[in-house]
Amino acid sequence: MSAAVLMLGVCPLMAATITYTISGTCGPVLSGSDPLGANGESGVVTAVVTTTLTPTTTTKTSATYTLPAGAITVLLGGTSYPASASTVKYTFPAAGPDTMVFTATISVDHIKGTVVGTASLAKGSFKSSVTKHPTKFSPSPQALTAAITAGGPGTQIKYTALGSSTVLGLSGTASN
């Protein structure tokens, strides 16, 4: 009987998780030389985020969360790159699309790099409660349109390794 009481006491404390998946086709190359050959290949950013996290920084229209190692995995052109350190930033400006920006430090064969994936979502996808804890976006799934300029509107992936930086558009879907 006491074991059942203990289990009931622990269950409400278990954290829920959200799995965000941004997937599609990489391209066009918006800047850089694309040494990984990702242009025209599949690209997937998967992030598993615990809903009990507290933000590292917040503003009136954004929240950034620090994620543990392994929370983000990047798949570019068939090669998987697990992250050792990462963040996710949710932005819901007064005008323009809501965004999620995933920043991940990756290491392959002792070569470190970074990947920044920006998903441009429909306006109103996030509620302001995302400044208190990670939340799902709605609707899900959503179609993603590739950016046509580096740093411009639209969905894009930037990767940096060996001193070289490449930005690619990404068209596909976002889901949670």
Domain residue spans of the chain: 13-175
Q: What is the pLDDT of residue 6?
A: 33
- Report the distance separating Cα 41 and Cα 9, nearest Å: 48
Q: What is the identity of the amino acid at 145?
A: T
CA distances 75 to 4, 31, 72, 93, Å, are 42, 20, 10, 29
Q: What is the pLDDT of residue 14?
A: 55
| Residue 116 and residue 157 in contact, taking contact as beta carbons nearer than 8 Å | yes
- Which phi and psi (to 5°) does residue 68 adopt? -75, 160
Q: Is 52 helix (H, G, I), strand (E, B) or coil?
A: coil
Kindly give the parts of the chain with pLDDT less than 50. 1-13
